[in-house]
């Protein structure tokens, strides 16, 4: 694999990564478009809703509007009075009358005044409300469907209340697809008449401004401000906190004087149910389990209108733009060669985006989608990385299978862990070993194929193990001849010494091998072998085609090793080495100078040495009986 091939492979890998990133971006764009269609919810939308809730929880509680309090129909009130809900309206009249005397500015009743009660009850409550500076309650618009036909019906407070009320409005809160309430329905239309949420009416009466107007899917005009709505005419509520963030007082104890009048003076007082038994509780962004009463959700909505802290969902095109920006960032991160730095880039990018989005939310109330852009950055880096890992694993398996034929499994693992495959092709100095069994061609002519295999297989197995053990690479087998080299693909500075030690061990192992054959009765005499060693510069690398490839060496230094092996017969010595090899091993090995001889293909004489032994005496050449090898009995 030369440099141009490596560049081609790198370019191909980058093109695959780009295609993966573009595919992820396209998928997320489709999901974003689908999520904006009516009655369609994607899994990422649910995650986005949770992310928006996280913004509230990270912000924490904020101080509620001090001019809003709640008078609660709570469990204490129900237990104290011992009366079932709804209470007689005369009792509610007593609470309203006491609040009037305390100086309440607006009293908002979160209770249905649609059906008459026994004589005197409605009159008592209407009289109390008539004395209230600002009295507001609710109406309802019901939607029913029969045989596929939708029908609306409007329910208003009784006429006796309409005469004294300062305002009324719809009371619906809106549950998102995960059942959590994040906003209120700003308005509904019935027979051409627009009815606004009673939170608007409460704020209007308190501020003394004109009713809201110019309703659209995107906004409502109120008190000189444009109240932003999402595409479902939903006003997002800036929740101050979880349940009981607003001051709450038990309704039964208000007329008893348990609370100081100053508690309610000049304030908006919402009267509504907080008891669990009355089932007017909802999950909110601050908690899906610690439910918030509907009346407190209205308090948060009124607070939002009074303070003008409106929440705005960023338009869908911003999400698409952020996805494209993250796709571009993912493309640059995938080009980082260091995996640790790339992972840090992904995590850092998501963290920076999250912090920036949260700061924008805190300062302006804009809520940008975070899940899809973050998913784009994460998947845009992780998926190409996984693809690259899989590709590399496939390549490693291919290389493992290739190199397992030449070097030991341990060396294969080391190569795959420490070396780039593209660096295997190079010109470098190696020590080449060429070995051959003496007169094996003549011997094999008198043996059956099975007998030849019975000799060669154990011989090649033993010799290969010795070469591998000394860090060598088996280039090829040529019948009984073995071509090996030392110094690549794992680089050893002492490659010449390793080759010399392997040559001595191979000859000793051949003696042990043939002695075993004699003990088995197969042969009576010892084989002899010739080994040539040369150290020099060669080209080493992967050569071949897509169908067949080898890891091999090419160069004159390899040819010289073969010539030296041929000379073992002439010099009557089993292991001959070149002067270049001797120069690198003479401190640990013993050898005798044989001759400076002009060999075939060389223009100058070659210094030839007879390798004799290691200096420590552990390995030594011993001349064996060279008689002919008798053939095994047929």
Is residue 466 predicted with pLDDT exceeding 70?
A: yes
* Per-residue burial over 584-603, b = 16 or more CB atoms within 10 Å of its CB, e = otherwise: bbeeebbbeebeeeebeeee
Residue 62's pLDDT is 92
pLDDT in tens, 286-317: 987 889 999 999 999 999 999 999 999 888 88
Q: Are residues 508 and 518 in the same domain?
A: yes
Q: Are residues 237 and 256 in the same domain?
A: yes
Binned at pLDDT 50, 70 and 90, residue 551 comes out as confident
In a domain, 408, yes or no: no
Show which of 272, 292, 313 is a domain's final residue. 313
Q: What percentage of the chain exceeds 90 in pLDDT?
A: 55
* CATH number for position 471: 3.30.70.1230
CA–CA separation, 142 and 262 (whole Å): 39
pTM, 2 dp: 0.65
- The domain of 581 spans 421-614
**Count of domains for the chain:** 3
Is residue 4 predicted with pLDDT exceeding 70?
A: no
Residue 412's pLDDT is 63
Q: Are residues 280 and 196 in the same domain?
A: yes
pLDDT in tens, 576-619: 999 999 999 999 999 999 999 988 878 889 999 999 999 998 99
Tell me which residue of 78, 161, 74 sits closest to 115, measured CA to CA: 161
Q: Are residues 115 and 257 in the same domain?
A: yes
Is residue 7 predicted with pLDDT exceeding 80?
A: no
In order, the DSSP letters of 167-235 are EEEE--EEE-TTS-EEEEE-EEEETTEEEEBHHHHHHHHHHT-PPPB---SSEEEETTEEEE--TTSEE
Q: Are residues 384 and 451 in the same domain?
A: no
Q: Are residues 460 and 575 in the same domain?
A: yes
Residue with tokens 């994607």: 42
Q: Are residues 386 and 476 in the same domain?
A: no
Residue 317's pLDDT is 87
Show which of 293, 313, 333 is a domain's final residue. 313
Q: Are residues 326 and 292 in the same domain?
A: no
CA–CA separation, 155 and 136 (whole Å): 15
Are the CB atoms for 285 and 56 separated by under 8 Å? yes
Q: Are residues 257 and 283 in the same domain?
A: yes
pLDDT in tens, 313-347: 888 888 889 989 998 998 888 888 787 888 889 99
Q: Please compute the mean of the pLDDT values over residues 92-114 and round it to a whole number.
A: 96
Q: Are residues 342 and 440 in the same domain?
A: no
Cα dihedral 328, 329, 335, 341, rounded to 10, equals: -170
Q: Are residues 237 and 338 in the same domain?
A: no
Q: How far is CA 343 from CA 335, 337, 347, 417, 547, in A?
A: 12, 11, 6, 20, 37
């Amino acid at each position: 694999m030369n440099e141009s091939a490596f560049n081609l492979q790198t370019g191909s890998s980058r093109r695959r990564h780009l295609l993966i990133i573009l595919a992820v971006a396209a998928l997320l764009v489709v999901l974003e478009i689908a999520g904006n269609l009516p009655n369609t919810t994607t899994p990422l939308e649910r995650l986005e809703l949770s992310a928006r809730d996280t913004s509230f929880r990270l912000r924490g509680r904020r101080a509620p509007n001090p001019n809003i309090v709640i008078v609660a129909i709570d469990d204490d009130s129900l237990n104290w009075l011992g009366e079932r809900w709804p209470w007689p309206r005369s009792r509610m009249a007593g609470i309203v009358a006491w609040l009037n005397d305390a100086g309440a500015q607006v009293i908002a009743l979160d209770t249905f005044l649609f059906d008459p009660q026994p004589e005197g009850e409605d009159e008592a409550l209407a009289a109390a409300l008539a004395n209230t500076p600002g009295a507001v309650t609710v109406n309802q618009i019901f939607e029913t469907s029969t045989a596929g036909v939708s029908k609306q019906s409007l329910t208003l407070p009784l006429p006796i209340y309409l005469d004294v009320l300062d305002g009324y409005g719809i009371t619906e809160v809106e549950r998102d697809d995960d059942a959590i309430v994040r906003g209120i329905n700003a308005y509904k239309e019935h027979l051409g008449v627009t009815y606004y949420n009673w939170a608007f009416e409460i704020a209007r009466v308190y501020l003394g401004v004109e009713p809201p107007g110019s309703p659209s899917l995107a906004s409502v005009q109120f008190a000189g401000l444009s109240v932003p709505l999402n595409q479902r005419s939903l006003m997002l509520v800036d929740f101050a906190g979880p349940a009981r963030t607003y001051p709450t007082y038990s309704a039964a104890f208000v007329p008893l004087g348990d609370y100081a009048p100053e508690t309610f003076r000049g304030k908006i007082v919402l009267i509504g149910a907080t008891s669990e038994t009355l089932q007017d509780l909802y999950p909110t962004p601050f908690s899906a389990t610690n439910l918030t009463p509907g009346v407190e959700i209205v308090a948060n909505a009124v607070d939002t209108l009074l303070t003008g802290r409106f929440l705005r969902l960023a338009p869908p095109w911003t999400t698409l733009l952020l996805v494209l920006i993250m796709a571009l960032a993912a493309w640059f991160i995938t080009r980082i060669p260091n995996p640790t730095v790339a992972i840090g880039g992904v995590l850092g990018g998501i963290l920076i985006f999250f912090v920036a989005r949260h700061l924008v939310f805190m300062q302006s109330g804009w809520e940008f989608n975070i899940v899809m852009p973050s998913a784009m950055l994460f998947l845009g880096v992780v998926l190409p990385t996984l693809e690259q890992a899989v590709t590399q694993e496939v390549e490693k398996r291919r290389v493992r299978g290739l190199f397992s034929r030449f070097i030991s499994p341990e060396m294969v693992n080391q190569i795959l862990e420490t070396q780039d495959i593209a660096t295997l092709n190079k010109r470098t100095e190696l020590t080449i070993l060429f070995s051959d069994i003496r007169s094996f061609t003549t011997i094999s002519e008198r043996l059956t194929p099975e007998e030849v295999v019975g000799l060669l297989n154990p011989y090649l197995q033993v010799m290969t193990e010795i070469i591998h053990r000394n860090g060598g690479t088996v280039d090829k087998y040529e019948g009984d001849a073995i071509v090996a080299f030392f110094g690549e693909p794992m680089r050893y500075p002492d490659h010449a010494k390793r080759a010399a030690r392997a040559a001595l061990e191979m000859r000793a192992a051949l003696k042990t091998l043939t002695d075993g054959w004699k003990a088995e009765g197969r042969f009576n005499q010892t084989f002899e072998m010739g080994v040539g060693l040369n150290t020099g510069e060669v080209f080493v690398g992967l050569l071949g085609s897509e169908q067949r490839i080898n890891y091999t060496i090419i160069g004159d230094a390899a040819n010289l090793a073969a010539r030296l092996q041929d000379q073992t017969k002439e010099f009557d010595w089993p292991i001959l080495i070149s002067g270049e090899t001797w120069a690198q091993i003479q401190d640990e090995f013993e050898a005798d100078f044989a001759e400076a001889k002009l060999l075939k293909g060389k223009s100058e004489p070659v210094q030839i040495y007879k390798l004799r032994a290691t200096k420590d005496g552990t390995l030594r050449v011993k001349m064996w009986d060279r008689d002919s090898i008798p053939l095994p009995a047929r």
